[in-house]
Structure 1
Amino acid sequence: MSTLMNLPVEAVVHASLLTDLDIYLFKQGSDFRLYEKLGSHSITADGVTGTCFAVWAPNAAAVSVIGDFNQWDATVNPLYLRGDDSGIWEGFIADVTVGALYKYRLVSRDGNVVDKGDPFALCWEIPPLTASRVWELDYAWNDETWMAQRGEKNRLNAPCSIYEVHLGSWRRVPEDGNRFLSYREMAQWLPSYIAALNFTHVEFLPLTEHPFYGSWGYQTTGYFAPTARYGTPQDFMFLVDALHQQGIGVIMDWVPAHFPDDAHGLAHFDGTFLFEHADPRQGFQPDWHSFLFNYGRHEVRAFLTSSAMFWLDKYHIDGLRMDAVTSMLYLDYGRKKGEWIANRNGSRENLDAVTFLRHLNEAIYRDYPDTQTFAEESTSWPMVSRPTNTGGLGFGLKWNMGWMHDTLGYFSEAPLNRKYHHAQLIFSIWYAFSENFVLPLSHDEVVYGKGSLIGKMPGDEWQQFANLRLLYGYMWGHPGKKLLFMGCEFGQKREWQHDESLEWELLQQPRHAGLRRWVEDLNRVYRNEAALYQQDFSRDGFQWMDCHYAEKSVVSFIRRGYNPADTVLVVCNFTPIVRDNYRVGVPSGGYWHELLNSDTELYGGSGVGNFGGVEAVPISAGDMFYSLMLRLPPLGVLFFKQGRRA
């Protein structure tokens, strides 16, 4: 609780938490802790407890606070415009305490009246209600161990295997009206489940407050509040805390690209285009029916950067995945000729957005160097995950959308046709080290008629599961961090439905249970073998053993760690044919033991393998002077590491 001491109540009405320095930084767009001063904050002044309100509305003719404490009467609690050209209205209301409902009544200069939620509200009513709530963020954290070591856990040379979750549909309670779980109920189930599967991180689809549940959180109105659908801010802190205590990092989707047109939100906030561009060719995205932020405005940049810093600061979030970065970078994104305005150089790059993203990433890595930022960027924009001082955008990592499209396209082909698409499979290695890539099999691939991942796999049911185990094995062996959407770990049959629970009953079936066990073991081996993660972003960490045998649709490659002893061989057979006496080159002699075999009966396979390992012989294969004679399982992937016989 903030304190303004030794002031009479009459003075406190005009008192402010904002200093002259705050205002200067705000107008310069460089105050990245706006949530500490703007919005609603409980204070005590000369023994009087109440709430200080502050809102940016430079073009409003009048602003007042309406709420359940004044019967929503706009004449009772007017705010006062500061005299420093900041455009901030503020005031103190006695006896307004935590939990109070409120909005801002804004009168525009043309006389129009609107009721707006607080852009800096720390808590909101449960949708579809739209009022803001006065709140405090006091919470006793118990994640000291995690916070002390998360810098090591989040390093680029550390293992990173992400389980992507939409909180409202991970698990529901059918006997209670099919309701979703609360934050605290999720804390009882989710951390232990993710830990059992050996994932290192969880990524939540946006949990910032959003009016339309069907937007999955990507149409944000409350940039400083977790959605009240699942509980209070402290309840969400409890969930993050529980995940950290299980050693699981928390990544949150964050949406700085656009915002919805809901009347209580940011759109046309003070009667003018305040957060968005006035010209719809710059300020409105017709595909999403949402407004685009004006990154050229200092105060807007400060607002968004403050939101990003807020989650890292107050909620101990370990990483931010920034949605729709592509739409931010290109002025013509989703537009036809004549529907967009070129930049000052006559080209299509959004120079203001580039500047914003660079400064945002600089601020995050300066103040929270033990966190990471992730870009969802689907084009060949250069140096997305390179430092800003070398000309990059400054993100830590970038989603590899090209790998995802090519790989799923390849796997959708019938195995007998895959030899004609071999280049599609191996092309990703040509650019795999141009960025710090995450390999995503995300929610976007299992919605809107695309079907489930298991449904994309060709063949009968046995082949579908074998193909999916092979896909995951190839993915976990391929350079890059990993991301898998919930339900894909056990082969959800229907495509994802945000109003329904995952099909947990499928785990009663052996093939589905076997697939989940395969994901669990993939993650275990991945975390234990430095070769599979230490040099994800360096060519030194990868070498083809054979990528040219398109006719048989087989590839083999090795992954290397910093230590030469940390070398793993991966062999993939993309056809349902058992291949006996298949020679694969290796970099050294000795015994190579089998770490993983996707065709093991434990996972639902046919049991074709190599009896636990193979001795390398001095017979050359490819560029190697030693080789293994292997039996390749059908639609299978094998992982080997040099070592002693078991």
Structure 2
Amino acid sequence: MHPAKVKRKSGVVVRAFRRDAAKCSVVELDAPGQPAWPMEKLADEGFFEVFIPGKKIFHHQLRFETSWGDIHQVYNAYSFLPTLSEQDLYLFNEGNEHRIYDKLGAHPRKLGDVPGTAFAVWAPAASRVSLVGNFNGWDARYHPMRPLGGSGVWELFVPDVGEGELYKFAVWDAHGHMRLKTDPYGTRFEGPPNNAAIVHSPRHHTWGDGEWMARRAAQAGNPDRPMSVYEVHIGSWKRNLAEAGRCFTYRELAPMLADYVTDMGFTHIEVMPVAEFPFPGSWGYQVTGYFAPTHRWGTPEDFQFFVDHLHQRGIGIIVDWVPAHFPRDAFALAEFDGTHLYEHADPRLGAHQDWGTLIFNYGRHEVRCFLVASALSWLDRYHIDGLRVDAVASMLYLDYSRKEGEWIPNRYGGRENIEAIAFLRQVNDLVHHYYPGVLTIAEESTAFAKVSHPTSEGGLGFDYKWNMGMMHDTLLYFQKDPVHRKWSHDKLTFGMVYQYSEKFIMVYSHDEVVHLKGSMLAKMGAGTLADKAANLRALYGFVWTYPGKKLLFMGSEFGQRTEWNYDIGLEWQLLQHPEHEGLRLLVRDLNRLYLSEPALSTTDFRPESFRWVNGNDGDHSTISFLRFDAEGRTAWLVVGNFTPVTRTRFHVGVPHKGYWREVLNTNSSYYGGAGFGNHGGRPASTIPSDGFEQSLSLTLPGLSVLVFKWSADAPV
């Protein structure tokens, strides 16, 4: 309905398109009894028009009659004012509307007493945008959307369209070519090969994790707390073997996973990406729905139940978040409005060399706003406790995986991606501002400075950084035959050179057990299954007592024999073998020890809490170090022997007289080892060693790590 003047008479003109209508008329709602104004059918396809003289715009509906005699009376979508304010649009274009996910996309709501859905999409270069779905027969003539000034946003409230409706945007570029695009801000999607968004409000779940959320907020600003993370791929942790190996849903998996993780002593799980993605083989790292849990394992409410249940069981949840790149699928973000809207136009900036994907244009305000909103939406709608940011190194450097001539230097002539760095700082600051206690974690493999330092100190603002260097070094060491390890002893010690430059998490993630790299067990040098299990137990004993938080990929805790396959469940049947069950029991006990002893879990970032006893004994492939609590009331001695040779009367210096209790031995028969040890502990003798005035005379079983505890409160 528009003001109009016909033959010098003022009034309003109403136009409507109803392809199934034989007749159509306009009904004034505020004038009961007023006759309807019949509309003239101008085109056989169903286009109607009427001029109503002497009227200003009024509250109305359309009444239409089909050729088979049905009569319908409906609201006209174009009789409702825009649902976005000028302030919303201003902040979005400025890049500072942090909750734009509540404005763009599809939002079921009432305007007055009229139910419907408000749709909005950003497509600044589009010449036309229409909403299509089942509700209009996927006919783009029905619901052309309205451009909102120069904002680039197109909007329309459609009455009587509610939750469960499928929809897409038909987007015409400047040359008249039309693309069918899914909603960048969609909250739910149908499964492949289809890819429509589904109108859905993610606000239905009634949360029961209030105590957890309060504790989380109280821990804000304290990064040095116990943290042992179990990395999980939801679709392949376990399968329902009774039903042809189908995936468990979020709801089915929640209690099973909570039971297992609680028993194993992990503090958090980290789930590989759950944001919607089209290709299962990408494991979720090629995202097309940045605001929607994938349909594969249930609804948004099912995922909320999953998180809620874990919280109520005392388990935190971290999700992989992927702002580094996105796939080229024609239905999604790529060339969204006919231009390179979300990505760079120049492939030297916008094409990812390794994965065949596209790189976000972090310098564009609205793109930055989109990504910030994605991060915040997972914390708001789904109570997520942490974001592990994937492929940070690829974001930081313009020449990442590029040869000379394949990249464009920044404005200062350097290789750093200035816009991406600014974005990472912004998103980290906003996460910590809005959600105190939520963690951000960088998967970053270079020597970029201050990744896990506050932005106020010139850092990127992450809470933690994955320790990729120590992971690579230790795996290189343990992959060698023990007879050759003496030449690589520095692989165990070099990490301490940079250990306190960042807040590190020690990680053995899914990336280490795919692409023909072999499982963790398969990496463990030569020898029998028993030898490999002993090596892996020794590696875990070393890592769990070394400074840094912990992360282990599922299946690695019990020695999965084959590489991880996203399409099948883990090899749980292996637990019937003592080598595998022993590994699982060791990881469980390492977690329990780690959580119960502050010296091992709350001093990771204090250099004074760590001291080498002997880090130079490469000839014997042994290593020893101390961990101290902040008060100096306890000391922990860790001794590793990484050859099969059992060493007796092996002297290791200690800083205190008295009794040193053997609290863990990876060679214990309980863990599948031979059972050699030190009969519960050793008293310190007066024989000097390793720069100390006293020492312990120890039996060091082959391929083992032993942990001893001294306490000032214990009798001498």
Q: TM-score, normalised by structure 1?
A: 0.97
- 1:418 to 2:458 alignment: no
| Rounded Cα–Cα distance in structure 2 between residues aligned with 1:440 and 1:258 | 23
| Rounded Cα–Cα distance in structure 1 between residues aligned with 2:603 and 2:657 | 23
Amino acid at match of 2:187: L
Name 1:440's counterpart in structure 2. 507
Name 1:3's counterpart in structure 2. none
Aligned length: 640
User: Offset of 1:588 from its aligned partner?
Assistant: 1.1
Deviations 1:460-482 (CA, angstroms, capped at 9, x unpaired): 11110000000001010111111
Contact kept, 8 Å, 1:59 with 1:271, in 2: the verdict is yes
| Rounded Cα–Cα distance in structure 2 between residues aligned with 1:130 and 1:554 | 56
- 1:482 to 2:550 alignment: yes
User: Offset of 1:127 from its aligned partner?
Assistant: 2.6
Amino acid at match of 1:54: A
- 1:618 to 2:690 alignment: no
- 1:368 to 2:435 alignment: yes
Counterpart pick for 1:57 among 107, 116, 123: 123
User: Offset of 1:535 from its aligned partner?
Assistant: 1.5
Contact kept, 8 Å, 2:77 with 2:158, in 1: the verdict is no
- 1:13-412 matched pairs, under 5 angstroms: 13-83=79-149, 85-137=150-202, 138-151=204-217, 155-412=222-479
Deviations 1:134-191 (CA, angstroms, capped at 9, x unpaired): 1112211111121111245673111110000011111112342321111111113111
User: Offset of 1:532 from its aligned partner?
Assistant: 0.8
| Rounded Cα–Cα distance in structure 2 between residues aligned with 1:285 and 1:144 | 41
| Rounded Cα–Cα distance in structure 2 between residues aligned with 1:117 and 1:238 | 26
User: Aligned pair in 2 of structure 1 residues 537, 128: CA closer, same or farther (>3 Å)?
Assistant: farther
Amino acid at match of 1:38: L
| Rounded Cα–Cα distance in structure 2 between residues aligned with 1:47 and 1:570 | 70
Counterpart pick for 1:629 among 694, 697, 707: 697
| Rounded Cα–Cα distance in structure 2 between residues aligned with 1:217 and 1:52 | 29
- Give the 3-state SS of the residue equivalent to 1:258 in structure 2: coil
- Give the 3-state SS of the residue equivalent to 2:521 in structure 1: helix
| Rounded Cα–Cα distance in structure 2 between residues aligned with 1:630 and 1:128 | 63
Amino acid at match of 1:124: F
| Rounded Cα–Cα distance in structure 1 between residues aligned with 2:143 and 2:464 | 47
| Rounded Cα–Cα distance in structure 2 between residues aligned with 1:15 and 1:411 | 67
- Give the 3-state SS of the residue equivalent to 1:321 in structure 2: strand
Amino acid at match of 1:66: V
| Rounded Cα–Cα distance in structure 2 between residues aligned with 1:238 and 1:30 | 31
Contact kept, 8 Å, 2:109 with 2:115, in 1: the verdict is yes
| Rounded Cα–Cα distance in structure 2 between residues aligned with 1:51 and 1:397 | 40
Segments of 5+ residues of structure 2 without an aligned counterpart are: 1-57, 61-74
Deviations 1:407-461 (CA, angstroms, capped at 9, x unpaired): 1000011111111111122100111111001111000000000010100112211
| Rounded Cα–Cα distance in structure 2 between residues aligned with 1:335 and 1:176 | 47
User: Offset of 1:14 from its aligned partner?
Assistant: 4.3
| Rounded Cα–Cα distance in structure 2 between residues aligned with 1:7 and 1:612 | 86
| Rounded Cα–Cα distance in structure 1 between residues aligned with 2:630 and 2:135 | 63
| Rounded Cα–Cα distance in structure 1 between residues aligned with 2:400 and 2:471 | 21
User: Aligned pair in 2 of structure 1 residues 106, 13: CA closer, same or farther (>3 Å)?
Assistant: farther
- Give the 3-state SS of the residue equivalent to 1:552 in structure 2: coil
Larger Cα-atom Rg: 2
| Rounded Cα–Cα distance in structure 1 between residues aligned with 2:470 and 2:219 | 25
| Rounded Cα–Cα distance in structure 1 between residues aligned with 2:682 and 2:300 | 55
- 1:534 to 2:599 alignment: no
- 1:550 to 2:615 alignment: no
User: Offset of 1:12 from its aligned partner?
Assistant: 6.6
Deviations 1:268-320 (CA, angstroms, capped at 9, x unpaired): 00010000001111111132111100001000001000000111111010000
| Rounded Cα–Cα distance in structure 2 between residues aligned with 1:550 and 1:290 | 45
| Rounded Cα–Cα distance in structure 1 between residues aligned with 2:399 and 2:353 | 12
- Give the 3-state SS of the residue equivalent to 1:634 in structure 2: coil
User: Offset of 1:13 from its aligned partner?
Assistant: 4.6
Contact kept, 8 Å, 1:14 with 1:90, in 2: the verdict is no
Contact kept, 8 Å, 1:60 with 1:109, in 2: the verdict is yes
Question: In terms of mean alpha carbon deviation, does 184-193 or 620-629 score higher?
Answer: 620-629
- Give the 3-state SS of the residue equivalent to 1:253 in structure 2: strand
Contact kept, 8 Å, 2:121 with 2:155, in 1: the verdict is yes
Name 1:580's counterpart in structure 2. 648
Segments of 5+ residues of structure 1 without an aligned counterpart are: 1-5
| Rounded Cα–Cα distance in structure 2 between residues aligned with 1:645 and 1:569 | 18
Contact kept, 8 Å, 2:629 with 2:635, in 1: the verdict is yes
Name 1:457's counterpart in structure 2. 524
| Rounded Cα–Cα distance in structure 2 between residues aligned with 1:542 and 1:31 | 45
Contact kept, 8 Å, 2:83 with 2:157, in 1: the verdict is no
User: Offset of 1:16 from its aligned partner?
Assistant: 3.0
User: Offset of 1:22 from its aligned partner?
Assistant: 1.6
| Rounded Cα–Cα distance in structure 2 between residues aligned with 1:311 and 1:189 | 23
Amino acid at match of 2:174: R
Contact kept, 8 Å, 2:59 with 2:79, in 1: the verdict is no
| Rounded Cα–Cα distance in structure 2 between residues aligned with 1:326 and 1:354 | 10
| Rounded Cα–Cα distance in structure 1 between residues aligned with 2:245 and 2:441 | 33
- Give the 3-state SS of the residue equivalent to 1:433 in structure 2: helix
| Rounded Cα–Cα distance in structure 2 between residues aligned with 1:248 and 1:86 | 43
Contact kept, 8 Å, 1:199 with 1:523, in 2: the verdict is yes
- 1:569 to 2:633 alignment: no
Amino acid at match of 1:532: L
Deviations 1:177-228 (CA, angstroms, capped at 9, x unpaired): 3211111111131111111100011000000000001100000000000000
Contact kept, 8 Å, 2:229 with 2:269, in 1: the verdict is yes
User: Aligned pair in 2 of structure 1 residues 7, 275: CA closer, same or farther (>3 Å)?
Assistant: farther
| Rounded Cα–Cα distance in structure 2 between residues aligned with 1:444 and 1:70 | 45
Name 2:25's counterpart in structure 1. none
Contact kept, 8 Å, 1:172 with 1:179, in 2: the verdict is yes
- Give the 3-state SS of the residue equivalent to 1:512 in structure 2: helix
User: Offset of 1:548 from its aligned partner?
Assistant: 1.2
Contact kept, 8 Å, 2:658 with 2:715, in 1: the verdict is no
Report 1 or 2 for greater relative contact order, CA contacts < 8 Å, sequence distance ≥ 6.
1
